Amino acid sequence: MKGLPLLLGLVAGASDLSAQGEVLRAVAEAREEGRYGEAWRLLEVVEDPVQRAKGEAELLAASGDLGGALSAAERGLEQAPGEIELAWRAASISITLGDAARSVRHVGNLEAGLATAELAPEHRAAWASSLRGLSVRADELGVLADKKCSAIRRARWIALLLIALSMGSLAALHVAVGRR
């Protein structure tokens, strides 16, 4: 906490990339030590919206707010659709939350970002491996979502059939009692 005022003073109104880098390192350190409030205050002075979105997504995920982390990653992706770290974070969280549509969309974002990213061969291989894993999990979620929709449709038809049978039985009973 003692370095917070110094760092905030260093970057207040500054767009110096080295100063922003120092703030982002301080954010990471505070996050890793569980000082989430301090990390958030530091993030508020980061001027680059994509870097701020990355930091917010990481911080919110670390604190257990996956929905907030996903929203932060998606805000960053609005600014930089090909940003692979944000796309990876959004895809991973979407899969964890079981959101099939978003996970497929963000896996697609990651794939598109990797197609244009300038990466060293060993990093490209690692990213490609991660993409394959996320893609498989997103596809599995899609299959499960389809099965769930089919099961819900079947359940509705069965419920309607049972209601119709019940109504028919009640009508037949009413007729039978009326004849007595």
Q: What share of the chain is helix, strand, coil (3-state, %, to 5)?
A: 85, 0, 15
In whole angstroms, how far apart are CA 112 and each of 33, 79, 106? 34, 15, 10
| 137 vs 148: CA distance, rounded Å | 16
CATH of segment(s) 48-178:
1.25.40
Full pLDDT tens readout for the chain, 180 residues = 444 433 344 444 445 667 788 888 999 999 999 999 999 999 998 889 999 999 999 999 999 999 999 999 999 999 999 899 999 999 999 999 999 999 999 999 999 999 998 888 888 889 999 999 999 999 899 888 888 888 899 999 999 999 999 999 999 888 888 777
Q: What pLDDT does 178 receive? A: 79
In whole angstroms, how far apart are CA 167 and each of 58, 116, 160, 172? 56, 62, 10, 9
Q: What pLDDT does 15 receive? A: 52
3-state secondary structure of 120: coil
Q: Which of 69, 1, 75, 58 is nearest to 35 (CA)?
A: 1
> Which structure tokens are listed for 1?
């906490």
- What does the H/E/C string look like for 52-69? HHHHHHHHHHHCCCHHHH
Q: What pLDDT does 157 receive? A: 94
The domain limits of the chain are: 1-47, 48-178
Please report which residue ranges of 82-120 form alpha helices under DSSP H.
Answer: 84-97, 100-116
Entry pTM: 0.70
